Chain A
Amino acid sequence: MSKDRMVTLTVDGLEISVPQGTKLLKACLDNGIYIPNLCYIDDMEHPPASCRLCLVEIEGRPDPLPSCSQKVEDGMVVHTETDAVRLLQKTAFRLLVSTNHGKCRLCMANKHCAMQQIAKFLHMPLRTKKLRYIPKDMPEVIEDHPCIVYEPNKCVLCGRCVYVCSRQNYDFALDFARRGFNTTISFFGSQEEGVGDYCRNCRACVDICPVGALNFKDERDAFLQDLQAKISA
């Protein structure tokens, strides 16, 4: 696959040219066309396509498709804001939000949270309205790891942290555990010596988390202290 070969396609009436083999989502984002997405990371070879937010309609295809796993083709005509696409995106978003207690002001990711961005984009509330609020039956904070804290109630299980951690040289690794509604990210085995030191310097999972569910313990403590001071002031 030569990198130089360019492919021309039309997205929402705008003609764009991108290298062949690019994922449709990346092509759109690079050209200033925003499509909501949570689980995609640049240059992922096999995107999980699990958040169901980056759907688009491609002319000639019967149903909307996730743009993250779709490669660009010459002469492709893409629509990102049709009624069918919005309906699916809003439903997916509603499901994500149905476990969210919506205490954004108390969260470290406030104002740079992907969920807030998507809510604004789709004109949707961040607290569930149409669907029943079903909190996860899990502790607010899990402190299994020597230096990272995990907040399962904020986690959207996009799997970005699992992906970036698996790309590191060491396999200290975090991974999904359990299943269904009880799925969490687990740091099982991270109590071993040396893991804390490695993770402190790596930061990959903390930085990639779109919703601030993973944070460094000391940074979170400092943030909460700040917040406490602000509230009492």
Chain B
Amino acid sequence: MSDNIEQDQEVDLEEQQVLDAIAVELPGFSRDVHQLLPVLQKIQHTHGYLPRDSMVMVAAHFAVAAAKVFGIATFYNQFRFNPPGRHPIKVCLGTACHVKGGEIILENFTRRLGIEEGETTQDREYSLERVACVGCCALAPVVVVGEKIESYVTPSKVEGVITEIEIQNEIAEREKAKDEQQSDSE
């Protein structure tokens, strides 16, 4: 439980850093309302997502209602409101993948990770997204994990994908611990 709280604080700190950075950047942008969308795009480009409070800050910068900025940002699919995870999972729901049951795969991921599409897990390990097409329809249904393409995904493979990442994480952690031990003994 205490671990969880610590994690929460860490995440809040991360978001606070992003917000502070945005507060520094914002005055540099034009106050012309036509620049609203480009500014939102720049924020997302630099930080990977639009934190909730950043939209309030942008609204204040352009002197428009926060609801208006929120409305504009949520209208476009290109904006995300959660930080990208270390392992972004993109489930393809293009025509071929849809026909081959992409929706079922997406549901498997939401259930396995306990997050909805467009969200990020509490520890920022995974984020879940739906994409329109990744261009390899012959391999449908397709899921893109980080840079890696998983083809012919089945519900059982969903578990495999997550387990693989977990094992890799564990190996990395063990090696890190070993390195530390070595450097300590030296």
- Show the binding face of A for B, using Cβ within 8 Å: 171-179, 186-190, 192
Closest partner residue, chain A, to B65 (CB atom): A173
Q: Do residues A188 and B67 form an inter-chain contact, with CB atoms below 8 A?
A: yes
In addition to A171-B64, A172-B65, A189-B56, 12 A-B residue pairs with Cβ atoms within 8 Å of each other are A171-B68, A175-B68, A175-B70, A175-B71, A176-B75, A178-B75, A186-B70, A187-B67, A188-B67, A189-B66, A190-B66, A192-B56
**CB proximity of A105 to chain B, nearest CB, Å:** 32
Contacts of B55 in A (CB 8 A): 188-189
Q: Do residues B65 and A171 form an inter-chain contact, with CB atoms below 8 A?
A: yes
In the assembled complex, 18 residue pairs joining A and B whose CB atoms fall closer than 8 Å, in A order, are: A171-B65, A171-B68, A172-B67, A175-B65, A175-B67, A176-B71, A176-B75, A177-B74, A177-B75, A186-B70, A186-B74, A188-B55, A188-B67, A188-B69, A189-B55, A189-B59, A189-B69, A189-B70
Contacts of A176 in B (CB 8 A): 71, 75
Q: Do residues A173 and B67 form an inter-chain contact, with CB atoms below 8 A?
A: yes
Q: Which 6 A-B pairs have the closest CB atoms?
A: A189-B66, A173-B65, A188-B70, A175-B67, A175-B71, A171-B65
**CB proximity of A202 to chain B, nearest CB, Å:** 14
Size band of the interface chain B makes with A: 10 to 19
**CB proximity of B149 to chain A, nearest CB, Å:** 29
Contacts of B56 in A (CB 8 A): 189, 192
Cα–Cα, bound, A190→B66 (Å): 8
**CB proximity of B167 to chain A, nearest CB, Å:** 35
Contacts of B74 in A (CB 8 A): 177-179, 186
Q: Do residues A177 and B71 form an inter-chain contact, with CB atoms below 8 A?
A: yes
Closest partner residue, chain B, to A173 (CB atom): B65
**CB proximity of A185 to chain B, nearest CB, Å:** 9
Contacts of B67 in A (CB 8 A): 172-175, 177, 186-190
Contacts of A171 in B (CB 8 A): 64-65, 68
Contacts of B65 in A (CB 8 A): 171-173, 175, 189
Cα–Cα, bound, A187→B69 (Å): 11
**CB proximity of B51 to chain A, nearest CB, Å:** 13
Cα–Cα, bound, A177→B67 (Å): 8
Closest partner residue, chain B, to A174 (CB atom): B67
Cα–Cα, bound, A187→B70 (Å): 9
Contacts of A178 in B (CB 8 A): 74-75
Known contacts A173-B65, A175-B65; is-contact A186 B71 (Cβ 8 Å): yes
Cα–Cα, bound, A173→B70 (Å): 11
